[in-house]
Every structure is written in structure tokens, then in C-alpha cells.
Structure 1
Amino acid sequence: MVKKNETEKSRSTFRKSRRRHRVLRYVLLTLAFLLVAGTAYGFFEYHKLKPANHFNNLQAVGSTKNNSKVKNYKEKAGVFNVLLIGSDARKGNTASHTDSMVLIHADLNNHTYNMLSIPRDTRVYMQGYGHTKLTSVQYISQVKHGTKKGIVDAVTAVSNLTGVPIHYYAETNYWGLQYMVDALGGIEMNLPFKVTLTHAWYSRNQGKTFAPGVQKLSGEMVTELCHERYSLPGTDYGRQQLQQAALIGIAKKVMQPSNVTRLPALSRSLSKFLIATNMSTEDMVSVGLGVKGDFHPEEQIKYRQVKGRGVKMYDDLLKANNSQIILDQTELQATIKKYFSN
């Protein structure tokens, strides 16, 4: 158990960091980060933080007042939506492009976690500018209005696209993912297909090939795999499958009894994993209480995909034609209704 003075320091740190900058393409792994924090702070009063009590009457992030689909969304206690953001943020940069976005519908009552990856080049509407790629929304807004506004605008764009309110966001980047995996001593990823690194972050890894099946990997290799797309079937859609494999691998490692002693130290190091999040310590604890003792990632994490078509279209933000992805609206609406609505 974390010592009292360490606990008070951690609480203070989290309160100050609620407005801070957080599977990069590795967004998915943030779910595991939340599990780490929740488990480590498990001494909080259970009844108060019981998911059905804590996750109730939640406020949506961003402006969705003009979206009739969001207005008609029925809230349910113990259920929330979180957007995991993977950015290409470099050290020292104040603005970054969105590389990956994963919408998670977490039902802590039924222990189900439906996930929908949204391709970075998806065509979305940005208030005040018009239609552009999803990857550009956060960057432009951060350049013009600051770090937090950029995240909120990206969340709003996804909320308007999907028609569901988003209550929380969490953003990570390349180094955050790498640090997390290494802190756990590496993970196992079950690769669904052969992967060749064609645009590695580190030149020493360029051209490395990984066979399908279970691979034991370091943080560096996990991030390289989650960054790859050009050698994969379906490019971005193939990358999404690798992100799912990474999330399951890290979630399984976190839940191993041998890692219990690492959790307090990991929870105090969340700032190394998360660039930004609006989740409080109490939110994270409640998530931990919700999954504790009944978390089976391979059965409970369900990964959904919505196909889209690549087209050349005019980008209102960039004032030029570029390649964009138009998601199939019929399939998107059906997926949202079945798996992301109460």
C-alpha cells in the first residue's frame, strides 16, 4: 500500500494535472494505464467510488449542443465513453497531429469494453473551418488556441461524427507507450499477420520482420509495431488490429499477480505515460474497482471496425484537395447503435 505521505503527494499531483497534456497510435493502451492507477489506489472508500455510483450524470467533453444524435443519447449509470488519443507529439512541441483515435464504450456493469478505431484521415467537420482530416483538427486548434482547446476540438469532432457524447479523453505518444511496456518488463503480442517495419522510428529497426503468432516484445518493439501501417493488410485497418493486440497484451500483463508490487510505483509515474487526460484520480480508482477480479481482456474487449473508402476531396482547412477516408455512414450508425449506445 502506498504510504500516507506518498498518497497525499500523488493526490496533489493528479489534481494539478487534470488539465495536463494524454494506443500515439498506441492509444489503446491507456485503458491499461487507468487499470494500473485504479488498482494502486484501491484503498479509497468502495461505496463512494463504486462505478454505478461514480459514473452517473456525467458531463460530455466539448460542444455537442447542435448535434441531435448526441442529445438523444440515453445515459446509464456505470457506463461511460472515453476517447483514447495517440499523437505524434515530439518532445518540446506544443502542438501535435492525431495519429490514432479509439472510442471506448466502457460498461462496468456488464464488464464489456467495445472499441472503435477511427482512421486518422477520416473526413470530419471542424467548427469554424469546414471539413478536413481528423488528424489536422487537434494540430490546427492547438496552434491557434492552445493545447487543451486542441484536444477538446478533436473530441468534439469525433463526438459529432459518431453521435455519442464523450465523457473522458486520454492522450499518449510514442515515448509514453514505450515507457509503460518497459515498466512492465515487456509484453506478449499475438500478431494476426506478418509485419515488416517500413518506416521505423529508429533506423536500426528499419526492415525488421515479425512472423504471425505470439511474440514477446520490449517497449521499443511494441511502439514500432503499433506505428507500422504500409506493410499491413488494409494499412490503417491493419494497424488497428495491431493496436488491439498490444492493448490485450499489456492488460494481461498488468493483471498478473507478479506485477502487483509494481502498481504503486507505476501509478505515481502516470505523467510519463499520459500527455493529457481529464480523468481524476477518483475516476481511475472507480475504473479499477469496476474491473478488479473480473477482467478477461481477450473475452471482454471487443474491437469494432467501420470500413471506409479513400477519395480525393477538397479540404476546407488546407484549401486544397487531398486523400481522405469517408466512413460508411450506414455501417457506422449501425455499429454505434448496437455497441456504443445504452
Structure 2
Amino acid sequence: MVNENTPSRRAFRKTKKKHRVLRYVLLSLLIIILAAAIAGFYKWHQLNPENHFAHLSAIGGSSNSHYKQKAGTFNALLIGSDARPGDTASHTDSMVLIHADLKKHTYNMLSIPRDTRVYMDGYGYTKLTSVQYVAQSAHGTKAGIVEAVKAISRLTGVPINYYAETNYWGLQDMVNAIGGIDMNLPFQVKLTHAWHARNQGKVFAAGVHHFNGEMVSEVTHERYSLPGTDYGRQQLQQAALVGIAKKMMQPQNVTRFPALSKSMSKFLIATNMTTDDMVSIGLGVKGDFHPETQFKYRQVKGNGAKMYDDILKAKNDQIILAPDQLQNVIKNYFTN
């Protein structure tokens, strides 16, 4: 009979105990790895564009109960304002409504002229450019942006899920952060009301130009020398968006995304997009992003008219968008 206390038996028990402890450690590590994998999968599942962009709410509530929003799509309003450092209220300088379909990889854009006649809750009819300023003066920055979004949603019948506002300095900083962009100008541009006196009167021929942030901001601000004034400006804004998108997706700039995201407040005055929203968009465009062909620019013509402004209590120059044309563009390119 073997003595339980012999050295060989004690060594065997000690080895067995070590193996048992090792098994527990390995099992614990396995559980941790599995838990991390499950959490990662859950997060990926959440951020998958078809899941993330589903059942989205509209800012201020939907103005169109018949609008059916498909999973993997969202509507966003890009706002360019004339806000200067320290301003508590600003006028809307440009607005671009985007319908993004991350499954089909299509991005339909509609620029809306700043002088477009719109309805503002509590005031009546006025120019679009005045809505944000009046609401911000009375109720604060965010309220002004929300009122501008609601005015566009009411005008177009499109529920808007996100907004992002920048200004001259924000656009300039963004373009400079990615090393400038190439802009394909569809026509000659002469700067007639430049932000900086040194740029006044500069002329750029139609074609591709490499611009830094200052010049992108100058060119996209121009309208008086352009064919169609506001409509010409819309084409320049599209060219800038395409240029920014192309530059951002270059391999050397993809590595700058973390640094850019940390300094996002320099580029954006305000947005309701979260980091997860932005990551999900990135997942949606990854591997199949060709802005020159996927960005589809839509225009709705309008007629200038002297109209009564309920805020000014007097007539001023406004643009009345052709209702039938607007309805057709929205139906064909901004609904599912």
C-alpha cells in the first residue's frame, strides 16, 4: 500500500493542483475573451449602418406622416452660417439637405437658397436666412438651429434626422487640417465680396484648382459674379463637398481621423451627431466611396418676387421655389 504522505504522492497532488489552477485561469481568460468578443459583436451589430440608422427620430417631429424611412438611410442638413467668433446669433448663409443611402451608396443633395420663402412657427413667412437669427436671438443657439431645420422640413416634407453647422472659420480649419483640397470649378469665379481684402477681385478660371481653407471659404461664399447667383453658389458648394470627401478618404488622411475627431469642435459650431453616428457612417462608406459619381446634386429653380415678410412687417426680395418641381425632386430622390 502506498503511503499518502510519500514524497511522490505529495508531488503528484501538488502538480494536480497546479493543473487545476491553470485550468481555472485559462477558463477565466476564455470567458473574458468570449465576453469581449460578444460585446464587440454587439457593438458592431449596433454600428452596422442598417441597424444603427433604423427607426430614427426626426428633429422637431416629422412633418410628413406618409414618409417611410428605410433602414440604412438618414437625412441630414448641412448649415453654413455667417457666425463670427463671439456671436450668439447668426444668419444662415447656405443649406444643403442630404439623403444618404448607405446600402446603395447614393448621396442625393439639394441646396436651398438663403432667400427662400419659408414659414416660421410663431412669426409667419420670412426668408430662410432670417429664421436661425431670429430664433437664436430669442431662445438661444440650439433653438435657432432647430427652428431652421423645422422650416426646411416643413418646406420639403422630408423628416430631418441630423444637422451639422459650420462657418467660414470652421470650413477653413477643416480644409487646412487635411492639407487643402482640389476643387473642380464648373465656371469662372471672380471674388466680388471676399472675406479678406487681399482676395477681393481675384479670378479663377473654370477647371481644377488646389485651394487651402481660406480660398475654399472665399470661393464658396461668392455668388454675385456667378451664373444664377445662388444657384451658381450651390454648384460651388457641391464641388467643395466632393473635394473634401475625396481628400478625407485618401489613405494618408484616414490615419488622421482620430485627431480630427478630437478637434471636431473647431470645425463644427453645432451638431446632434454622436461619435457612434459618425463611426457608423464610416462603416457604411468604407470600401465603396466615390463622391464624384455617388454625390448626386439636385436643383429646384425658383422665381424672385417682392413678398411681404411677417418679421420685418414689410416687403422684401424672396425666392419662391417651384412647388411642382420641388415635389418631384423630393419624391424621386429623397424618399424610399
> Above 0.5 in TM-score?
yes
List runs of 5+ in structure 2 lacking aligned partners: 1-39
Correspondence for 1:89 among 74, 79, 83: 83
Contact 1:168–1:279 (Cα < 8 Å) also in 2 = yes
Q: Specify the SS of the correspondent of 2:316.
A: strand
Partner of 1:108: 102
Correspondence for 2:45 among 47, 58, 65: 47
Contact 2:61–2:159 (Cα < 8 Å) also in 1 = no
Residue 320 (structure 2) pairs with residue 326 (structure 1): yes
Tell me how far apart the structure 1 counterparts of residues 307 and 46 of structure 2 sit (CA, whole Å): 50
Tell me how far apart the structure 1 counterparts of residues 70 and 101 of structure 2 sit (CA, whole Å): 9
Q: Specify the SS of the correspondent of 1:115.
A: strand
Residue 331 (structure 2) pairs with residue 337 (structure 1): yes
Tell me how far apart the structure 2 counterparts of residues 93 and 128 of structure 1 sit (CA, whole Å): 24
Correspondence for 2:155 among 146, 155, 161: 161
Contact 1:44–1:285 (Cα < 8 Å) also in 2 = no
Tell me how far apart the structure 2 counterparts of residues 280 and 263 of structure 1 sit (CA, whole Å): 15
Q: Which runs of 4+ in 1 moved over 3 A?
A: 42-45
How far residue 44 of structure 1 moved from its aligned partner, in angstroms, is 9.5
Tell me how far apart the structure 2 counterparts of residues 259 and 335 of structure 1 sit (CA, whole Å): 34
Q: Specify the SS of the correspondent of 2:255.
A: helix
Contact 1:200–1:206 (Cα < 8 Å) also in 2 = yes
Q: Higher relative CO (CA 8 A, sep ≥ 6), structure 1 or 2?
A: 1
C-alpha change, 1:218 and 1:43, in structure 2 (3 Å) is farther
Correspondence for 2:183 among 183, 189, 199: 189
Residue 301 (structure 2) pairs with residue 303 (structure 1): no
How far residue 263 of structure 1 moved from its aligned partner, in angstroms, is 1.8
Q: Specify the SS of the correspondent of 1:71.
A: coil
Structure 1 vs Structure 2 CA RMSD: 1.3
Aligned amino acid, residue 89 of structure 2: A
Residue 226 (structure 2) pairs with residue 237 (structure 1): no
Partner of 1:178: 172
How far residue 48 of structure 1 moved from its aligned partner, in angstroms, is 1.6
How far residue 47 of structure 1 moved from its aligned partner, in angstroms, is 2.0
Q: Specify the SS of the correspondent of 1:338.
A: helix
**C-alpha deviations, 1:288-325, integer Å up to 9, x for none?**
10001110000100000000000011101111110000
Aligned amino acid, residue 149 of structure 2: V
How far residue 226 of structure 1 moved from its aligned partner, in angstroms, is 0.3
**C-alpha deviations, 1:246-302, integer Å up to 9, x for none?**
111111111111223222111111000000001111111100100011100001000
C-alpha change, 1:44 and 1:193, in structure 2 (3 Å) is farther
Tell me how far apart the structure 2 counterparts of residues 253 and 228 of structure 1 sit (CA, whole Å): 23
How far residue 43 of structure 1 moved from its aligned partner, in angstroms, is 11
Partner of 1:225: 219
How far residue 45 of structure 1 moved from its aligned partner, in angstroms, is 3.4
Q: Specify the SS of the correspondent of 2:103.
A: coil
How far residue 62 of structure 1 moved from its aligned partner, in angstroms, is 1.3
Tell me how far apart the structure 2 counterparts of residues 44 and 131 of structure 1 sit (CA, whole Å): 47
| Largest Rg, 1 or 2 | 2
1:191-206 equivalences in 2 (<5 Å): 191-206=185-200
Q: Specify the SS of the correspondent of 1:169.
A: strand
Contact 2:226–2:233 (Cα < 8 Å) also in 1 = yes
Partner of 2:242: 248
Partner of 2:9: none
1:251-290 equivalences in 2 (<5 Å): 251-290=245-284
C-alpha change, 1:109 and 1:174, in structure 2 (3 Å) is same
Tell me how far apart the structure 2 counterparts of residues 259 and 134 of structure 1 sit (CA, whole Å): 35
How far residue 121 of structure 1 moved from its aligned partner, in angstroms, is 0.3
Residue 202 (structure 2) pairs with residue 208 (structure 1): yes
Normalised to the residue count of structure 2, the TM-score between the two structures is: 0.87
Equivalenced residue count is 297
**C-alpha deviations, 1:29-82, integer Å up to 9, x for none?**
xxxxxxxxxxxxx99932220000001111100144xx4xx1110121111100
Residue 135 (structure 2) pairs with residue 141 (structure 1): yes
List runs of 5+ in structure 1 lacking aligned partners: 1-41
How far residue 228 of structure 1 moved from its aligned partner, in angstroms, is 0.3
Tell me how far apart the structure 1 counterparts of residues 141 and 254 of structure 2 sit (CA, whole Å): 34
Q: Specify the SS of the correspondent of 1:214.
A: strand
How far residue 180 of structure 1 moved from its aligned partner, in angstroms, is 0.6
